[in-house]
Amino acid sequence: MKKKTMYHLLVGICLFVGIGLFQSEEVHGENKEPHIFVHGLVGFGPDELKPFPITYWGGFSTILGELNTKGYPSMEAVVSPFGSNWDRAVELYYYIKGGTVDYGAAHAQKHGHARYGRTYNGLYPQWDGQSKIHLIGHSQGGQTSRLLETLLREGSSEEQAFAAASGVEVSELFKGKKEWVHSITTLGTPHNGTRLADIAKPLISDLIYGLATATGSSSINIPYDFKMDQWGLRQQTGESNRAYMKRVLESNIWNNSQDVALHDLSIAGADTINQTTNLADNVYYFSFAGDATYRSGVSKNYLPSITMSPLFTIPSMILGKTGTTEWRANDGLVLVISATAPFTQKSKAADNIVEPGIWYVEPVIKGWDHIDFIGQDYLQAPLLRKSVRNFYEKIVLRNYTL
């Protein structure tokens, strides 16, 4: 027992101080542009899970609050937790800039949902080419950030053509010519997809029904907002959480539409995103991947390490034995090879010479699983809190020098 306790302690110490990125150093920046944080699949906004004091970015602590306290302007964007990257990118634009979400007339007609969504006041209404932002995306949030940046610059020729032919207005977003993003940093993003997306629906079903049971069978009321109003899936007045979640889960969009997250997170869907997006010659791109697996001594399979959250043990084992060897190391949900950079875009190992227009792939963070990046691995949270805090502070200070 003592040996096991000592082993856990040593692992914690290694995670706490052993990653070079987290070593503190003074960096003097040239810009103080705000950082916009973009959540991934199953994400949620501040105070959405009340009465539980849980945040997406930090778990029982608040990463953004700590950054803001130190004088680093940081804001949390909220988009659909299960929407496609197109829908999420459009929502992200309006959530930051303000206005009524316009998914595009052509896009709405193609996929069979409403053209307009919710109306937002705007996190940063002054956002433009003079007041740029840094985007930090976790998991699918990285894909969403990439697509938004491309749409800002290039717009959508399909939406422009449809609007011209139909005599309707086209959203400012789809007009392009907006160089409004300074940098993009992705954390555990499946740039090249994940094999789990093809089997994710049963896992998500269990998650949703589990949450529905918890909220429906006790006095605790935990609303979960899917933010998929365009599909007619907004919770109605008087509709219980259980009934709402059941209605969402049983919607035919999960099987019949490619305009949802599960498609975009698949290998085929991610490839489409990679073909759609490109790199700007004045935007900086950085990626981080976690690896909480080790190679088996008796096979070529990769197994979950002791630092892996129990939530990801089974998914990690599935990934660890599927495909060729280089496609097996993972963070529990996302493959290391997928989180580094899109296969179709230029990339290099990160060094001290940083230039725009290329992905800088940071060293893989050994021992970190998918939710260690956001401080939600509650078994390790006390050990990792300082490392996670330093991790984000390092990113922010680096971006201020760009």
What whole-number distance in Å separates Cα of residue 137 and Cα of residue 270? 15
Specify if 8 maps to a domain: no
Domain contains 15: no
Q: What is the pTM of this model?
A: 0.89
Q: How many domains does the chain have?
A: 1
Within a domain: 30: no
Q: Which amino acid, residue 261? A: A
Report yes or no on 178 lying in a domain: yes
What is the spatial distance between Cα 54 and Cα 138, in angstroms, rounded to a whole number? 17
10 Å Cβ neighbour count for 124? 19
**Domain span including residue 199:** 35-400
Tens-digit pLDDT profile for the chain (402 aa)?
333 333 333 333 333 333 344 333 444 457 889 999 999 999 999 988 877 788 999 988 899 999 999 999 999 999 999 999 999 999 999 999 999 999 999 999 999 999 999 999 999 999 999 999 999 999 999 999 999 999 999 999 999 999 999 999 999 999 999 999 999 999 999 999 988 876 665 665 555 554 444 444 443 455 789 999 999 999 999 998 878 888 988 899 988 899 999 899 999 999 999 999 999 999 999 999 999 999 998 888 999 999 899 989 999 999 999 888 899 999 999 999 999 999 999 999 999 889 999 999 999 999 999 999 999 877 776 788 899 999 999 999 999 999
**Within-domain flag for 269:** yes
Domain harbouring 60, CATH code: 3.40.50.1820
In a domain, 228, yes or no: yes
Tell whether 22 is covered by a domain: no
Residue 9 covered by a domain = no
Give the rounded distance of the alpha carbon of 240 from its chain centre. 28
Neighbour-count burial for 351-364, b at 16+ CB within 10 Å, e otherwise: eeeeeeebbbbbeb
Q: Are 215 and 241 in contact (CB under 8 A)?
A: yes
Strands (E), 103-242: 116-120, 133-138, 181-187
Which of 80, 44, 56, 79 minimizes the C-alpha distance to 223?
44
Nearest residue to 190 (alpha-carbon basis) of 92, 120, 255, 268: 268
51 upstream amide cis, omega within 30 of 0: yes
* Cβ neighbours for 58, distance < 8 A, ≥ 6 positions apart: 64, 65, 66, 374, 375, 376, 388
Active site positions, annotated: 139, 331, 370
